[in-house]
Amino acid sequence: MILELNRESLVPLYAQIVLKIREMITSGSLKIGDRLPANRDLARRLGVNRTTVTTAYADLVADGLITSHVGRGTFVSGVPPRDRTPRPEQRHVPAVQWDTLLVPETRDRWLGSMWRFQPNKESISLGHALPQAELFPLDEFRRSIDRVLRREGRSLLQLGASNGYEPLLDYIASQMSLVGVQVKPGEILITNGCQQSLDLIRRVLVGPGEEVVVENPTYPGALSLFCGRDAKYISVPIDAQGLDLDALEDIMVQRRPKLIYTVPSFHNPTGLTMNLASRRRLAEMVARLRVPMIEDDIYGELRFEGASLPPIKAMDSSGLVLYINSFSKMGFPGLRLGWIVAPGVVIERLNDAKVRCDLHTSTLAQAAVYEFSRQGLFARHLRRVRKAYAARRDAMLQALDEHLSDIATWTRPEGGMSIWVRLPEQVNAAELLPQAAEAGVLFTPGDRFYSSLPKQNMMRLCFTMAAPDRIGEGIKRLAELIRQRVEAAFSRGAASRAEAGRALV
Ligand SMILES: Cc1ncc(COP(=O)(O)O)c(C=O)c1O
């Protein structure tokens, strides 16, 4: 029996043995009654562990293809059932017209499209608001997982509580109290991140035809939920202080929206933060006008400098502020772990919606994060990333000052992950992107963050994923391309150099 294994293959060795022996039986090169080599002999011949062959034989026994008799050996005893399905090339199957089956798309695809443009290893990535994976403390986190598995592995791998892992709920409650939010564990729901929190809140609060207020621009994941198919929404501009509160108050009075969504700290994409007075005013407006509001505080912990500000939830006398946060930006987005703070009666409804959706969030992930936090490792990780990101933000601001200050303007955030850049009017950021990608730099064109009237000359630059020197190089390359476009616009005679220069900034 000649059997060759491919050690480079992703198929485990035991499975390769199973497949090869199956093939031999199917093709007739092994017949019923033929004897197979003893485990030990086959293992030696193939240079694999004996348990690899034992596992493969056990699979074949379970499929009824071979039988083992103690003392006599292992024999072929059955033939795999023939696959009677004709091969694809023998069948005539008309192509499925998926377009007619899928519901019409509008903005629902926004978030998906963001992920199609993946950076390759060489490109300078200024496009994604994500933590830098090289800063993940892998060994420490692995030890946290080991510890919880050893301590309570059986219950962690069993189906768990839908509202969340109790020690993590208690821990979050204690952390929230540090920022002035007094909350009981029954007022918290653990979710698979802020994106799921937004989806759950929309499901339980926004009925057909009801309007949601969104900032313009805002996080595309929120746009895909609140401004998608069948949704009704109202865009409110943001100014240097964040949400334009005068405009919002008018809308709240006149339109009675069902829900407001805001990111008051280190807003995505602008990096802007609402000041204390505005936070107070917004909390007061929400309470007076009785409109529920989502406060998305996902970047709140990523402050590098300046006085920290309490979340609006800390000023919420009415309970109408639904606070959401997650471990995605301060920690590890791949864990998919976030939480909602809301009155108990709302949490109950959110919990029902969560159960319908996915029963609960991974208890193992929750326990590992709890353990990681309990040991003080999360706090240490946060200190480390804040320092690293502050250096990167400085590098980006310095490079922008050096290369673009005469033709563009931008925000100067005290934390978060992104800077919002206004380019000369003639430069269309979406058209610039493929050219920039070719030059090895990625960014996100600003138009995809708008709920209405998208501006074409805006771009979001994220400073977390590239090292400071790479950021400098990336901005330099971008600046060259931007200048080329401006020059091209001038030479087309669109405007005189002097006139345009004034209009640009
Ligand atoms: C403002 C904002 N909210 C929510 C999310 C999604 O977060 P999560 O990974 O917790 O679902 C993001 C991600 O970029 C974001 O920028």
Tens digits of residue pLDDT in 209-263: 999 999 999 999 999 999 877 789 999 999 877 899 999 999 999 999 999 999 9
Mutate to test the pocket of ligand 1, among 128, 189, 195 (most ligand atoms within 8 A of CB): 195
Q: Is the beta carbon of 339 within 6 A of some atom in ligand 1?
A: no
- Determine the atom of ligand 1 nearest the C-alpha atom of 192: 11
Which residue from 311, 349, 347 is spatially nearest to 187, judged by alpha carbons? 347
For residue 195, report the distance from its CA to the centre of ligand 1, in Å: 6
Q: Is the beta carbon of 129 within 6 A of some atom in ligand 1?
A: yes
Q: Is the beta carbon of 420 within 6 A of some atom in ligand 1?
A: no
- Determine the atom of ligand 1 nearest the C-alpha atom of 267: 1
Check residue 495 and give its pLDDT.
Answer: 55
Cβ atoms of residues 342 and 294 within 8 Å? no
What distance in Å separates the CA atoms of residue 321 and residue 109, rounded to the nearest whole number? Answer: 28
Check residue 339 and give its pLDDT.
Answer: 98
For residue 291, report the distance from its CA to the centre of ligand 1, in Å: 23
Per-residue pLDDT of the chain (505 residues; tens, 9 = 90+): 778 898 888 888 999 999 999 999 988 999 999 999 999 999 999 999 999 999 999 999 988 999 988 888 999 999 888 765 666 556 677 788 777 777 766 655 555 555 555 556 689 999 999 999 999 999 999 999 999 999 999 999 999 999 999 999 999 999 999 999 999 989 999 999 999 999 999 999 999 899 999 999 999 999 999 987 778 999 999 987 789 999 999 999 999 999 999 999 999 999 999 999 999 999 999 999 999 999 999 999 999 999 999 999 999 999 999 999 999 999 999 999 999 999 999 999 999 999 999 999 999 999 999 999 999 999 999 999 999 999 999 999 999 999 999 999 999 999 999 999 999 999 999 999 999 999 999 999 999 999 999 999 999 999 999 999 999 999 999 999 999 999 888 787 755 655 555 554 4
Q: Is the beta carbon of 265 within 6 A of some atom in ligand 1?
A: no
Q: Give the pair of three-digit tokens for residue 409.
A: 């303007």
Cβ atoms of residues 273 and 264 within 8 Å? yes
Mutate to test the pocket of ligand 1, among 262, 326, 337 (most ligand atoms within 8 A of CB): 326
Helices (H) and strands (E) in the chain, counts: 17, 17
What distance in Å separates the CA atoms of residue 113 and residue 448, rounded to the nearest whole number? Answer: 10
Q: Is the beta carbon of 195 within 6 A of some atom in ligand 1?
A: yes
Q: Which residues contact 111 (CB under 8 A, 6 or more apart)?
A: 195, 220, 221, 224
Q: Whose CA is nearest to atom 4 of ligand 1?
A: 194
Q: Give the pair of three-digit tokens for residue 60.
A: 């074949």
Number of residues in the chain? 505
Check residue 505 and give its pLDDT.
Answer: 40
Q: Whose CA is nearest to atom 15 of ligand 1?
A: 219
Q: Is the beta carbon of 266 within 6 A of some atom in ligand 1?
A: no
For residue 44, report the distance from its CA to the centre of ligand 1, in Å: 53
CB crowding 289-306: b at 16 or more within 10 Å, else e: bebbbbbbbbbbbbbbee
Cβ atoms of residues 363 and 208 within 8 Å? no
Q: Is the beta carbon of 300 within 6 A of some atom in ligand 1?
A: no
Which residue from 435, 450, 448 is spatially nearest to 113, judged by alpha carbons? 448
- Determine the atom of ligand 1 nearest the C-alpha atom of 129: 14
Q: Is the beta carbon of 192 within 6 A of some atom in ligand 1?
A: no
Check residue 106 and give its pLDDT.
Answer: 60
Helix (H) or strand (E) holding 140: helix 138-157
Rounded to 10 deg, the angle between the 377-404 and 363-374 helix axes is 90
- Determine the atom of ligand 1 nearest the C-alpha atom of 417: 16
What distance in Å separates the CA atoms of residue 123 and residue 121, rounded to the nearest whole number? Answer: 6
Which residue from 302, 358, 331, 389 is spatially nearest to 144, judged by alpha carbons? 331
Which residue from 285, 207, 216, 277 is spatially nearest to 252, judged by alpha carbons? 285
